[in-house]
Amino acid sequence: MLTPLLVIPLIGAIAIVLYPDAKKSWVVATVFCLLSFGWSLYLLSQFDLSFGGLQFVEFHQWVEPLGLNYSFGVDGLSLPLLVLNSLLSAIAIHTNRKDLERSRFHDSLILLVNAGIAGALIAQNLLLFVIFYELELIPFYLMIAIWGGKNRGYASTKFLLYTAVSGLLVIAGFLGTTFLSGSPSFEIADLQVQNLDSVPKLLLLTALLLGFGIKTPLVPLHTWMPDTYVEASPATAILLGGILAKLGTYGLLRFGLQLFPDTWELIAPVLAVVGTVSVIYGAMNAIAQQDIKRMVAYSSIGHMGYILVAAAAGTELSVQGAIAQMLAHGMILALLFFLVGVVEKTTGTRDRSVLNGLMNPIRGLPLTSGLLILAGMASAGIPGLVGFTAEFVVFQGSFATFPIPTLICIISSGLTAVYFVILINRTCFGKLDNASAYYDRLEVNDRWPALVLTAIVLFLGIQPNWLLRWMEPTTTSLAIELHRPAIARVAAIDTIHQP
């Protein structure tokens, strides 16, 4: 059931190389992307909503001496992300296509990335996860280095080094988890984490937190991210921010919270503080930016902070909010990067002090500006859009555990509104400079991906149940796992007090 998610894009990547007409590579790429998107929707339809464990499990022995198995499965945490992955790949292929050089290579790299991320999301074996996690590195590096902006050499190297260090920490953490606990193999189901003492557990969790924290990115580890997002082409930025960064938070939930529940509970206050700092830092920096793409990049740091706060709180509702926020943020960020990419391509600048009056219905970019306003509203958490749903669940779920960090987060979601108002005010409103505003007409390709994303953002905002229903059983079992020690303590107190 899950293998097609891996095989379809890989075959697609090879098919593109073999397809004779380089200019038409996007057709092949789209076909394969839609196939894998369709397959992920089919999985969604077959998904058993009443069961919190792994579904569609596949298991084959692979490299037995290493304890590496071909072992796949999905639950409510990974399945929605898989759908997002296929969706964003299709969007990325149609982003900024005009005059794309080396389009064949570009499209096969996107499909490779798609396969890699899908593999990481469904892998149920630590080594298998590492393989897919590291597989991303080279395609993304090449995408940034070939199709990036002016400073792409610097940005791509920085991305490479940070991501490689992230992979290193994750491998070290996994090797440690398996061998120190005496687990028989790298299967997640086989891990005997309970055999570990608290100090090794803390060390291993720290290694994993740092590793996934770089990918997410969380605040002290984020310095690669603004450079990379800004220098990357819009298509690359959509994939980087929309889905690759989610592998970081996915790792935090899957390998932090799920594997080390009691240690997670121990350090949760620290994580909540780190998350809150990320939120404030991202918002403040976004306000200060002149470059609108950089503004969007910093907004992403802030929104990833919510996920960490919610994951730290670890209640059923907050974890659900964290996953919902991953999806919502993935779509909204992709939309923002797409629109900013269109603005940049048409006007030739990203400087908010130069841009003006794009709302102008005749010579401006009315549709793009309108969608930009909508995307800004979604990102700021205006009710009726998907961002609100996710943030509301995050805040509601986290408030009981961490009232003060949650309050600070709520306040800084107001700051989000501040910088989006600045952005929209400067770029969309005002008077269009008639002297320079001779823009090319937009093509169909510059419109429909944004419209599709907007439609989904609107639909899930009005019908939030469609967003939240998938993860409910999984988050319930996760939260029970996390609070088992506390429940046991309460039970123990109860038995003492009973005569």
Partner 1 sequence: MDVVTLASQLNAGTIIPEGIVTLTLLVVLVGDLIAGRKSASWLPYVAIVGLLGAIAALFVQWNGTSDTIAFLGAFNGDALSIVFRGIVVLSTIITVLVSISYVRQSGTSLSEFLSILLAATIGGMFLCGASELVTVFIALETLSIASYLMTGYTKGDVRSNEAALKYLLIGAASSAVFLYGASLLYGLAGGETQLDRIGIALSQIETPAIAPVVALVFVICGIAFKLSAAPFHQWTPDVYEGSPTPVVAFLSVGSKAAGFAFAVRMLVTAFGSLTEQWHFIFAALAVLSMILGNAVALAQTSMKRLLAYSSIAQAGFVLIGLIAGTESGYASVIFYLFAYLFMNLGGFACVILFSLRTGTDRISDYAGLYQKDPLLTLTLSICLLSLGGIPPFVGFFGKIYLFWAGWQAELYGLVLLGLITSVISIYYYIRVVKMMVVKEPHEMSETVKNYPEVSWNLPGMRPLQVGIVLALVATSLVGILANPPIDLAKASVQRSPILQASISPAKEVAVSRFAPVQSSEFRVQN
Binding site for partner 1 (CB under 8 A): 62-66, 127, 130-132, 134-135, 137-138, 141-142, 145-146, 156-157, 160-161, 164-165, 167-168, 171-172, 175-176, 179, 182-184, 190, 192
Q: In whole angstroms, what is the distance from residue 359 CA to residue 426 CA?
A: 11
Instruction: Count the neighbouring beta carbons within 10 Å of the beta carbon of residue 496.
Output: 8
| Residue 158 or 329 with smaller CB distance to partner 1 | 158
Q: In whole angstroms, what is the distance from residue 172 CA to residue 486 CA?
A: 30
Record the tokens describing residue 78, joined without a space: 């990974």
Q: In whole angstroms, what is the distance from residue 422 CA to residue 60 CA?
A: 54
Question: ∠166-341-220 over CA atoms, to 5°?
Answer: 30
| Residue 145 or 407 with smaller CB distance to partner 1 | 145
The DSSP output letter for 24 is G
Continuous H helices in 289-402:
292-313, 316-347, 366-380, 386-399
The DSSP output letter for 436 is T
Sign of CA dihedral 399, 405, 408, 409: negative
Pairing label, strands 68-74, 55-63: antiparallel
Q: In whole angstroms, what is the distance from residue 116 CA to residue 66 CA?
A: 21
Question: 264 with 322: CB under 8 angstroms?
Answer: no
Residue type, 328: A
Residue type, 103: S
Instruction: In angstroms, give the least distance from the CB of 207 to partner 1.
Output: 10
Nearest Cα residue to 92 out of 44, 156, 163, 29: 29
Instruction: In angstroms, give the least distance from the CB of 473 to partner 1.
Output: 22
The DSSP output letter for 80 is H
Question: ∠197-174-52 over CA atoms, to 5°?
Answer: 85
| Residue 105 or 229 with smaller CB distance to partner 1 | 105
Residue type, 266: L
Nearest Cα residue to 71 out of 88, 87, 58: 58
| Residue 137 or 382 with smaller CB distance to partner 1 | 137
Tell me phi and psi for residue 13, to 5 degrees.
-60, -40
Q: In whole angstroms, what is the distance from residue 193 CA to residue 116 CA?
A: 27
| Residue 180 or 266 with smaller CB distance to partner 1 | 180
- Whether residue 217 has a cis bond before it, omega within 30° of 0: yes
Nearest Cα residue to 368 out of 413, 338, 327: 338
Q: In whole angstroms, what is the distance from residue 245 CA to residue 120 CA?
A: 13
Tell me phi and psi for residue 359, to 5 degrees.
-70, -15
Nearest Cα residue to 389 out of 399, 379, 375: 379
Instruction: In angstroms, give the least distance from the CB of 289 to partner 1.
Output: 28
